[in-house]
Structure 1
């Protein structure tokens, strides 16, 4: 495994571990208006990211055509605001494990969709690895009580998770990880404000108490700023297919931190699922497999990695 692949894998893994470990913060915001919380989170993240956007950010944004701007709006609406809303709505009539199981299948869909959009065949090793990751994520979380609405909203959450990766592919190369993260956070903040006014009226935003403020600060500064930048830097180096494999670490990290917060336990099922996730990530991402002495699929060349797969991005963006 070369240095570029190793760094990309570590960045993607760190991003997913941060998201998985943020579930405790989510539980502290149960009484806070949803749209208002999303507005504060993404606004604060936007302000923190703005100095990091890099030189020439305005010129790069002006150079974007209508197609990329539409994609950015969809990325924020589907992969950020919509995803969080779908998870929240699913948990009203289903146990949290149910949307988690559906979201755990995202690596399989991404492993199929990204190659098809690029007019190439999905790679077997990535597909096999994604299947193991999905199975491991389901094993970690188990299955819970639900109804038709819970299943429907869980499917929407799955589509949001897939969209967060797939929709970013053509715009990652021209914007880069930091400017992309900054832009989508700004758009998501505006979308959250509109959704809040339409859904909750004057009560869409209120001053958070000390606990809620701490949870929102963690989500904005750590999960969003650090997590988003690391995620897109990782995706730029190893591609969306392999990066999404690491999303299986989200339920693993949540299961590992649950006992520390007193919100769950870590048992045999969680250990077995974690092993499956790690095996799937190793198989599909190119990490050496110590128990077979083999390596996963050959990583793209360093030149292609640094541009986020230049030819892939250009062909994908032309389809819009």
Structure 2
């Protein structure tokens, strides 16, 4: 039951995370990347701090041990670097294409889970990884039909790929932290508290560079649509999505999270076509199908291994 609850949490977390591509595209060019991140995090903290103030105070006591270095790394990779790479990448590529490229996250997470957490990788996972990599290569335009694919476009796609890699590192860091916490004499940190602390650290990281982007002048010049996008980026894409993420990763392994991270490209692609009216070409759709196939194969592998674990526990 807990594992199913964890998968439901992960589904919601990555569905919301996929909308960050569209939000970033709407704000890009109107506000600086660091300003977007800082304001969205500030809005998220305005919701999070009152919501979990009591638990936040308790976490500084003896009931739960806060691993500050781990939380700092999670804030750097999961919020700061992910958003910086994504926002700068969206300056050179489309939201639809960026959304598909985030489909590299499942394969990268599975590889890191094997290397760092020693989670098993079988032929289903390997085939899923190969399918994802093939899709990314196709999307990158390394086999182009024309000459429309520019160097700037390639740079944009590579930056989005770095964002996917940052997300994968964050996934592994979160799972490793979850495995090391929650001992018999220690109470795990509440998901909302983790989200608050990580958001606060990322906010502080953005403050200085945001100051060089003339944030006050930029914010004064945006309309209600941009403010609405910032509100969505903060309380929903940051606060709610990360609370769901931490609740899910406490109940599932990193490879299961990898399978559900495929919701990011799916959500981003659908929203970019529906809301932004962007067109995806044959190469993008073909690459997207390969990425989706990789996600399904990794998900099938999790279903199989999950069943084996249940049998093993029953046999014991």
TM-score (norm 2): 0.75
Deviations 1:96-155 (A, max 9, x none): 56755654322222212223323454344344344445555776x664533575466345
Q: What is aligned with 1:292?
A: none
Q: In the aligned structure 1, how far is the partner of 2:225 from the partner of 2:257?
A: 33
- Deviates most, 122-131 or 171-180: 122-131
Kept after mapping to 2: 8 A contact 1:255/1:264: no
Aligned partner of residue 32 in structure 1, secondary structure:
coil
Whether 2:163 is the aligned partner of 1:157: answer yes
Shift of 1:89: 2.5
Q: Structure 1 residue 268: deviation in Å?
A: 6.7
CA, structure 1 residues 222+283, in 2 after alignment: closer, same or farther (shift >3 Å)? same
CA distance in 2, matches of 1:300, 1:223: 34
The number of aligned residues is: 291
Q: 1:265 to 1:299 in 2, by over 3 A?
A: farther
Q: 1:232 Cα deviation (Å)?
A: 2.4
CA contact (8 A) 2:44 2:235 kept: yes
Evaluate the alpha carbon distance shift between residue 119 and residue 23 of structure 1 in structure 2; reply closer, same or farther with a 3 A threshold: closer
Matches within 5 A, 1:301-316: none
* 1:248 equivalenced with 2:280 (yes/no): no
User: Displacement, 1:265?
Assistant: 3.7
State the distance in 1 between where 2:39 and 2:123 align.
Answer: 42
Stretch deviating more after TM superposition (84-93 or 225-234): 84-93
2:232 alignment partner, one of 218, 228, 235: 218
Alignment match, 1:85 = 84
Matches within 5 A, 1:137-216: 143=141, 144-147=149-152, 149-150=155-156, 153-172=159-178, 173=181, 174-197=188-211, 199-200=212-213, 206-207=219-220, 208-216=222-230
3-state SS in 2 of match to 1:242: helix
- The within-5 A match list for 1:245-284 is 245-265=259-279, 276-284=290-298
- Alignment partner, residue 36 of structure 1: 35
User: 1:130·1:245 contact (CA, 8 Å) conserved in 2?
Assistant: no
| CA distance in structure 2 between the partners assigned to 1:102 and 1:277 by the alignment | 8
Uncovered stretches (5+) of structure 2, i.e. residues with no partner: 142-148, 182-187, 311-316
Q: In the alignment, which residue of structure 2 is the partner of 1:9?
A: 7
Deviations 1:21-79 (A, max 9, x none): 3433222212113222211111111221234437543343456879x312222221222
CA RMSD of aligned residues (A): 3.5
Q: Deviations over 1:259-296 (max 9, x none)?
A: 322422467766666655554444323589xxxxxx53
CA distance 1:125–1:61, change in 2 (3 Å): farther
Q: Is the 8 A contact 1:133 1:280 kept in 2?
A: yes
Deviation at residue 190 of structure 1 after TM alignment: 1.4
What is the distance in 1 between the residues matched to 2:267 and 2:215?
Answer: 37
Tell me: CA distance 1:181–1:84, structure 2 relative to 1, closer, same or farther (3 Å): same
> What TM-score, normalized to structure 1?
0.74
> Any gaps of 5 or more consecutive residues in structure 1?
289-294, 303-320
Q: Is the 1:134–1:248 contact (alpha carbons within 8 Å) kept by the matching residues of 2?
A: no
Q: Could you give the per-residue CA deviations for residues 213-233 of structure 1, whole angstroms, max 9, x where no partner exists?
A: 101011112212222122222
The structure, 1 or 2, with the larger RCO (C-alpha pairs under 8 Å, 6+ apart) is 2
